[in-house]
């Protein structure tokens, strides 16, 4: 696993400088994931991936080696490069069940990594895909108890910034209520990106686990010191 300097985990450039979804460790043993912020995210907010994007009636084409690596939705109007390193699944129609990783995209075409080329061409008449935004980060939604979490911002991100989010180790977590020491934290507060006290009667299949409080906050909507454990 890549080792980072402490300064590196607080850099938030608007240009991608690392491998999306890559994990890295700082000298103190904390683990971080490199993500793309799709909206402004305040310091200590909890993040998850944005909702999947459904794309209907797509077609495919081949490269010079006759490999099926291009997936097109006519007049899609996508932002160039927005789907780099995203995953897709053909969820209906011709080619259903195939999955692949996106290398890059134009305004209407996804280019797959050659190693992920489709074995069956898609048909514009009935092929549909779903795009998974795994490299992206947004504030975790309000009242969502069960969702795949990505990490916790330890520095503020502007929309479009790239940087590292804390996955495991000690850090701050913004809590929407007063958190007492030793309790678990889960998403689901009434403000996006904030945590609340976990329900001790529930388990990991009932609510997502952010971590355990080490030092309590004394006021709602302030950070608590938390042993974060998101994987």
Helices and strands (H and E) in the chain: how many = 0, 18
| pLDDT score at 79 | 94
Give phi and psi for 228, each to the nearest 5: -70, 140
Q: Considering only CA atoms, which of 193, 103, 184, 182 is closest in space to residue 150?
A: 193
Both tokens of 122, joined, read: 């898609």
Q: Look up the pTM and report it.
A: 0.93
Q: Give me the residue spans of the domains in the chain.
A: 2-49+137-229, 53-132
| pLDDT score at 11 | 96
User: Is-contact 210 46, C-beta < 8 A?
Assistant: yes
* pLDDT tens digits, one per residue of 9-20: 999 999 999 999
Q: pLDDT averaged over consecutive 10-residue blocks of the chain (231 residues)? A: 90 94 96 98 97 94 97 94 96 96 97 97 94 97 88 98 98 96 92 92 81 95 97 83
* pLDDT tens digits, one per residue of 112-142: 999 999 999 999 989 999 999 999 999 999 9
Distance in angstroms between the alpha carbons of the first and the last residue of the chain: 15
How far is it, in rounded angstroms, from Cα 48 to Cα 147?
Answer: 7
User: Is-contact 187 211, C-beta < 8 A?
Assistant: no
All residues at 6 or more sequence positions from 148 whose CB lies less than 8 Å from its CB, including other chains: 48, 49, 208
Q: Cβ–Cβ contacts within 10 Å for residue 206, how many?
A: 12
| pLDDT score at 208 | 92
Q: Considering only CA atoms, which of 167, 60, 50 is closest in space to residue 112?
A: 60
How far is it, in rounded angstroms, from Cα 95 to Cα 126?
Answer: 10
Both tokens of 141, joined, read: 């939604």
- Which CATH number does 53-132 carry? 2.40.30
Task: Please tell me whether residue 156 adopts helix, strand or coil conformation.
Answer: coil
């Amino acid at each position: 696993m890549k080792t980072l300097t402490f300064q590196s985990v607080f850099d938030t450039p608007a240009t991608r400088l690392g491998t999306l979804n890559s994990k890295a460790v700082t000298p103190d043993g904390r683990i971080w994931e490199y993500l793309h912020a799709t909206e402004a995210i305040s310091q200590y907010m909890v993040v998850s991936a944005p909702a999947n994007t459904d794309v209907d009636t797509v077609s495919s084409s081949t490269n010079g080696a006759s490999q099926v690596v291009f997936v097109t939705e006519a007049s899609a109007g996508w932002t160039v490069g927005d789907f780099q390193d995203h995953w897709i699944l053909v969820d209906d129609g011709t080619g259903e069940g195939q999955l692949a990783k996106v290398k890059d995209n134009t305004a209407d075409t996804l280019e797959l990594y050659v190693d992920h080329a489709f074995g069956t061409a898609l048909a514009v008449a009935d092929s549909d895909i779903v795009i998974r935004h795994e490299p992206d980060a947004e504030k975790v939604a309000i009242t969502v108890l069960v969702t795949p979490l990505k990490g916790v911002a330890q520095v503020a991100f502007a929309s479009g910034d790239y940087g590292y989010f804390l996955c495991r180790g000690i850090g701050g977590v913004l809590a929407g209520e007063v958190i007492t020491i030793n309790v678990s934290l889960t998403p689901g507060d009434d403000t996006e990106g904030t945590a609340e006290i976990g329900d001790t009667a529930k388990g990991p299949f009932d609510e997502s686990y952010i971590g355990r409080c080490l030092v309590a906050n004394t006021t709602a909507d302030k950070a608590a010191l938390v042993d974060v454990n998101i994987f």
